[in-house]
């Protein structure tokens, strides 16, 4: 049982490049979400999903896209990276009460 | 709108001393409440959670938290801090019907003096 797995762990992008952060969970949780963590701001919700085919925006969705084609996977796409998207990104899944987090992806946009 | 406030950005305590980290929330009804801990470069680990019932909740690593509805608070406590407790601590709230949609406070960084 691997829990929540995020790849890659580190990434450097140039402004304007696109990329996808991968997230997979093997706990059969319906609920999955993406957060970004910035110093002094805690974790802020980007997008979340309550099941395959259903996604919704969180607090800071601009510049990010998501899709949920399977229960296991919830990728986060940056279509045109900007320096303001430099952050640590956490994927999480929920059994209904609370979240189980992945180890994070540290993204730097130069 | 829901919100969580952790008034202390950074706290330093001596090893063996007691600890209390403050958390205040804003929510119309009784929410789900959580405390998470994050060691440097790591993900977040759940320390404890409150949904209903006994307002004093026990967690892992010797931590406990008390829900006080009248003060909209959910403070985290530990009677005797160990050097390994140095980390960042996050309080979070979720609506009762959306237990996975957590809103986090800004975090409190704990340093432990020998």
DSSP string, A27-52: S--SEEEEEEE-TTS-EEEEEEEEET
**B57 touching A (Cβ < 8 Å):** no
Tell me what pLDDT residue A41 has. Answer: 87
**A74 touching B (Cβ < 8 Å):** no
Tell me what pLDDT residue B89 has. Answer: 98
CB contact under 8 A, A45 and B102: yes
Q: Which whole number is the average pLDDT over A91-106?
A: 91
**B3 touching A (Cβ < 8 Å):** no
Tell me what pLDDT residue B18 has. Answer: 97
Phi, psi (deg, nearest 5) at residue B2: -75, 150
Instruction: Report percent pLDDT > 90 for chain A.
Output: 91
Tell me what pLDDT residue B110 has. Answer: 97
pLDDT tens digits, residue range B37-61?
A: 999 888 899 999 998 888 999 999 9
Min Cα separation B41/chain A (Å): 8
Min Cα separation B44/chain A (Å): 6
Closest chain A residue by Cα to residue B10: A40
Tokens 């008034």 belong to B7
Tell me what pLDDT residue B28 has. Answer: 72
CB contact under 8 A, B43 and A44: no
**B10 touching A (Cβ < 8 Å):** no
The Cα-based distances of B94 to B11, B55, B105 in angstroms read: 25, 17, 12
Tokens 């993204």 belong to A107
- List the one residue out of B8, B38, B86, B44 whose CA is nearest residue A90: B44
Tally of CB atoms within 10 A around A92: 27
CB < 8 Å to A96, chain B: 99-100
pLDDT tens digits, residue range B82-96?
A: 999 999 999 999 887
Tell me what pLDDT residue A1 has. Answer: 65
């Amino acid at each position: 049982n691997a829990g929540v797995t995020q790849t890659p762990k580190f990434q450097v992008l140039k402004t304007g490049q696109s990329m996808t952060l991968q997230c997979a969970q093997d706990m059969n949780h319906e609920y999955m979400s993406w957060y970004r963590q910035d110093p002094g701001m805690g974790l802020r919700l980007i997008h979340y999903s309550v099941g395959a085919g259903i996604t919704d925006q969180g607090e800071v969705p601009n510049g990010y896209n998501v899709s949920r084609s399977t229960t296991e996977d919830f990728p986060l796409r940056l279509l045109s990276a900007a320096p303001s998207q430099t952050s640590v990104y956490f994927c999480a899944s929920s059994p209904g009460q609370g979240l189980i987090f992945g180890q994070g992806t540290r993204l730097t946009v130069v | 709108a829901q919100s969580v406030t952790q008034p202390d950005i950074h706290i330093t305590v001596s090893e063996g001393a007691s600890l209390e980290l403050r958390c205040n929330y804003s929510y119309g009804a009784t929410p789900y409440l959580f405390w998470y801990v994050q060691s440097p470069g790591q993900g977040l680990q759940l320390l404890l959670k409150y949904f209903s019932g006994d307002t004093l909740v026990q967690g892992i690593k010797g931590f406990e938290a008390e829900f006080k509805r009248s003060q909209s608070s959910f403070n985290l406590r530990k009677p005797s801090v160990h050097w390994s407790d140095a980390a960042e601590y996050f309080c979070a709230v979720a609506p009762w019907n959306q237990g996975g949609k957590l809103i986090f406070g800004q975090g409190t960084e704990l340093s432990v003096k020998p």
